């Protein structure tokens, strides 16, 4: 038995009892289907060394608080297993926080667990049942591994992780939270839908919720710009010129010229302004586009439509150009082809140039890993859960429109059931934010609010919102205030530091507004101060 002080955020002041931080102590507390890989104490300010060969998340977190680091393996379908990691800080705040994963990466996301442990949360991350980089999808040849990735590993890791946490502290967990972005956003929404008892509050960013359409679209959008020898191919060297023209046209259209595109959907963008004049011999060096390249731009900014006018997937928003990684290179991002080859089972030899709508039909039929999230998430509402969802408007990896599409369809599904969303599910656009974090240097939009993965983007020892550790600026604290005190967040103030590395001075702050409201400048006051803005309904 060990004693430590309890002084985390909102926690009781006193002492906390804990088991020994040893494999045998945890093993004794776990059901038979779980076995301990390791458990050892990490001292304050030490580095946790990620186990060698952890392919998905190799980066080791530094500057940790004093905590017990645990790795546990759980038996799943057939012979398959999944693993998860736990950080159990000495200064526990009584709460459990699960973090999400990214892409098809297999591994425990130790790096993203670290910020939560600095608040005092017991933090957990699952490896989703495989050990792999995004470039290698062969793990998905095993259907059990696909089911683990889709939903079983997160749920089972949460259930088992809670047992280990409560046993270690010899005390019940007071509240259970989740924070994830991208695949992590999908995992959060999937938990809300299928395992509503797991969490009290879920923070879901840029969710890859429509996996069965997102991954085929990842191949389709790449093909708009391939092969590189085609006359319609736009070389990445021209993306900045396109981004500049988009800002030139779309920034003033939102009512304030501030370099941030706040209403990309309302922008009537005219690509022809980028056409090369007759005397240009090299479009790339001249920074202009040929007529065939202009057609490619139209494809990029148009929804993906299938046979019989079926809506397949939303387009990338204008303003996402600085993150057009899916349109760079000589082949699609491996997430697309790996999904088709291994999760849809078309095999190693499938050539992405053979992509056609049959691929989409197959994905709709198979729904690998049951990964796509249903619109009926009423069970999470019925048990009193709170859901906070956000998406950057300059996201170049997962089209921003897939988030409002989800929100709108949940509303259409639940309103007839008599369920009003505002009391438990709120969605926030983040103007100028890229995929989960960051902003183009040409926009410098406020994007930081301690969302999932964001702390690591500022620095290895960051947590919360430096300088603004309160529920108005920190989405995780806002979620806690909502769950524990019933204070629902109308706005979250996002921050852009002058220098993200030092976080010493603020460049800009601005409120993020609850959809479908939008932040509007009041007309007077410093445009870079949050109080000069208000959330207005456009409808
Ligand atoms: C943590 O370690 C770093 C270098 O390893 C050191 O610079 C820093 O002062 C330490 N911080 C504390 C709080 O001990
Ligand atoms: C992951 O795979 C690598 C390379 O095959 C291996 O070295 C490592 O031990 C594996 N890690 C886990 C946790 O299975
Ligand atoms: C489990 O592994 C054993 C031994 O490798 C094998 O014989 C058996 O077929 C496997 N079972 C399943 C369900 O994969
Ligand atoms: C891909 O992963 C499999 C195991 O899942 C491994 O056997 C294979 O060597 C990996 N391929 C590469 C190119 O790393
Ligand atoms: C592990 O086994 C226990 C006891 O049989 C069961 O209640 C639990 O659901 C299992 N956990 C998982 C993650 O399968
Ligand atoms: C090319 O034509 C444009 C307008 O047609 C003109 O403004 C520009 O100066 C010309 N450039 C050269 C190098 O002749
Ligand atoms: C145009 O200029 C770019 C950049 O200098 C160069 O890579 C490319 O080969 C040129 N294209 C043609 C058709 O000369
Ligand atoms: C499109 O319509 C045709 C004719 O009604 C039908 O046979 C086909 O299945 C439809 N395709 C899709 C994807 O719904
Ligand atoms: C798949 O998801 C549906 C809801 O979309 C759910 O009813 C079903 O139980 C899930 N299947 C599995 C195997 O989890
Ligand atoms: C709840 O409200 C109390 C009183 O204002 C405050 O001390 C506490 O920190 C709040 N808890 C959370 C989780 O926001
Ligand atoms: C930000 O601060 C770091 C650390 O002091 C410094 O190395 C870097 O040059 C700064 N970046 C800018 C853009 O000023």
Task: Please report whether residue 299 resides in a domain.
Answer: yes
Identify which ligand lies nearest to the alpha carbon of 312: 8
Task: Please report whether residue 338 resides in a domain.
Answer: yes
The predicted pLDDT at position 197 comes to 98
pTM for the full model?
0.94
Q: Which residues contact 67 (CB under 8 A, 6 or more apart)?
A: 41, 42, 87, 88, 89, 90, 117
- Clarify whether 182 is annotated catalytic: yes
Q: What is the mean pLDDT of the chain?
A: 95
Domain range for residue 273? 214-369
Task: Please report whether residue 308 resides in a domain.
Answer: yes
Q: 395, 437, 473, 474: which is the annotated catalytic residue?
A: 395
Supply the residue whose CA is at minimum distance from atom 10 of ligand 3. Answer: 79
pLDDT in tens, 220-252: 999 999 999 999 999 999 999 999 999 999 999
Identify which ligand lies nearest to the alpha carbon of 497: 11
Supply the residue whose CA is at minimum distance from atom 13 of ligand 11. Answer: 499
d(CA 23, CA 39): 5
- Clarify whether 412 is annotated catalytic: no
Task: Please report whether residue 189 resides in a domain.
Answer: no
Task: Please report whether residue 291 resides in a domain.
Answer: yes
CA of 287 to the centre of ligand 6 (A): 13
| Tokens matching residue 226 | 């391939």
Percentage with pLDDT > 90 across the chain: 95
Position 3 pLDDT exceeds 60: no
The predicted pLDDT at position 8 comes to 40
The predicted pLDDT at position 16 comes to 60
Q: Answer yes or no: is the C-beta of 504 below 6 A from any ligand 11 atom.
A: no
The predicted pLDDT at position 4 comes to 40
Mean pLDDT confidence for 208-216: 98
CA of 362 to the centre of ligand 9 (A): 18
pLDDT in tens, 139-155: 999 999 999 999 999 99
Q: Under a CB-based contact definition with an 8 Å cutoff, are residues 419 and 445 in contact?
A: no
Identify the CA nearest to 511 among candidates 534, 538, 537, 477. 534
Q: Which atom of ligand 1 is nearest to the CA of 44?
A: 14
Q: 182, 320, 402, 437: which is the annotated catalytic residue?
A: 182
CA of 407 to the centre of ligand 8 (A): 28
| Tokens matching residue 242 | 């396109």
Identify which ligand lies nearest to the alpha carbon of 75: 5
Task: Please report whether residue 138 resides in a domain.
Answer: no
Write down the number of H helices and E strands in the chain.
15, 17
Ligand 6 pocket mutation pick from 275, 276, 279, 283 by most atoms within 8 angstroms of CB: 279
pLDDT classification of 254: cutoffs 50, 70, 90:
confident
**What burial letters (b/e) apply to 169-206, b meaning 16+ CB within 10 Å?**
beeebebbbbbbbbbbbbbbbbbbbbbbebbbbbbbbb
pLDDT classification of 331: cutoffs 50, 70, 90:
very high
Write out the DSSP string of 202-239. Answer: EEEES----HHHHHHHHHHHHHHT-STTSTT---GGGH
Q: 389, 391, 435, 473: which is the annotated catalytic residue?
A: 435
pLDDT in tens, 109-141: 999 999 999 999 999 999 999 999 999 999 999
Q: If 0-12 CB within 10 Å is exposed, 13-18 middle and 19+ buried, where does residue 30 land?
A: middle
Domain count of the fold of the chain: 1
Task: Please report whether residue 271 resides in a domain.
Answer: yes
Position 492 pLDDT exceeds 70: yes
CA of 119 to the centre of ligand 1 (A): 18
Task: Please report whether residue 355 resides in a domain.
Answer: yes
Supply the residue whose CA is at minimum distance from atom 1 of ligand 4. Answer: 136
């Amino acid at each position: 038995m060990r004693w430590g002080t309890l002084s985390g955020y909102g926690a009781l002041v006193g002492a906390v009892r804990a088991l020994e931080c040893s494999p045998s102590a945890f093993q004794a507390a776990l059901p038979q289907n779980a076995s301990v890989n390791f458990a050892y104490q990490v001292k304050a300010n030490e580095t946790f060394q990620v186990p060698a060969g952890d392919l998905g998340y190799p980066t080791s977190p530094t500057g940790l608080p004093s905590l017990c680091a645990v790795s546990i393996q759980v038996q799943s379908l057939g012979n398959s297993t999944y693993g998860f990691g736990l950080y159990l800080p000495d200064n526990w705040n009584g709460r459990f926080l699960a973090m999400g994963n990214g892409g098809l990466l297999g591994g425990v996301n130790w790096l993203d667990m670290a910020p939560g442990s600095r608040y005092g949360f017991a933090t957990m991350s699952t490896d989703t049942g495989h050990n792999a980089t995004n470039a290698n999808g062969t793990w998905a040849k095993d259907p059990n591994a696909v089911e683990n990735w889709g939903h079983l590993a997160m749920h089972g890791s949460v259930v088992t992780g809670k047992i280990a946490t409560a046993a270690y502290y010899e005390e019940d967990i007071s509240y259970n939270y989740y924070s994830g972005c991208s695949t992590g956003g999908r995992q959060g929404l999937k938990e809300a839908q299928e395992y509503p008892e797991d969490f009290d509050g879920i923070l879901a960013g840029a969710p890859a919720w429509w996996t069965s359409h997102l991954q085929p679209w990842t191949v389709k959008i790449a093909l708009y710009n391939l092969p590189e020898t085609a006359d319609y191919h736009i070389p990445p060297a021209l993306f900045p010129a396109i981004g500049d023209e988009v800002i030139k046209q779309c920034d003033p259209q939102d009512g304030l010229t501030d370099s941030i595109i706040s209403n990309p959907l309302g922008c009537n963008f005219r690509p022809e302004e980028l056409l090369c004049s007759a005397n240009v011999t090299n479009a790339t060096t001249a920074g202009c586009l040929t007529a065939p390249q202009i057609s490619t731009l139209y494809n990029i900014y148009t929804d993906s439509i299938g046979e019989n006018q079926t809506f397949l997937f939303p387009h990338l928003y204008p303003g996402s150009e600085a993150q057009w990684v899916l349109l760079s290179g000589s082949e699609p991002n491996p997430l697309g082809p790996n999904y088709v080859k291994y999760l849809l089972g078309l095999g190693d030899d499938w050539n992405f140039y053979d992509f056609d709508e049959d691929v989409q039909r197959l994905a709709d039929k198979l729904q690998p890993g049951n990964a796509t999230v249903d619109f009926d998430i009423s069970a999470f509402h019925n048990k009193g859960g709170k859901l906070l969802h956000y998406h950057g408007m300059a996201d170049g990896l997962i089209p921003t429109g897939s988030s409002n599409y989800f929100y709108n369809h949940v509303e259409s599904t639940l309103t007839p059931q008599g369920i009003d969303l505002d009391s438990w599910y709120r969605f926030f656009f983040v103007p100028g934010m890229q995929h989960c974090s960051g902003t183009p240097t040409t926009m410098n939009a406020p994007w930081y609010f301690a969302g999932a993965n964001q702390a690591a983007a500022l620095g290895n020892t960051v947590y919360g919102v430096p300088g603004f550790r309160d529920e108005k600026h920190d989405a995780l604290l806002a979620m806690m205030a909502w769950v524990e005190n019933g204070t629902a967040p109308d706005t979250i103030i996002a921050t852009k530091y002058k220098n993200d590395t030092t976080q010493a001075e603020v460049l800009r702050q601005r409120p993020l507004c609850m959809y479908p409201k939008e932040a509007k400048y009041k007309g007077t006051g410093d445009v870079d101060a949050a109080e000069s803005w208000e959330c207005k309904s456009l409808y």
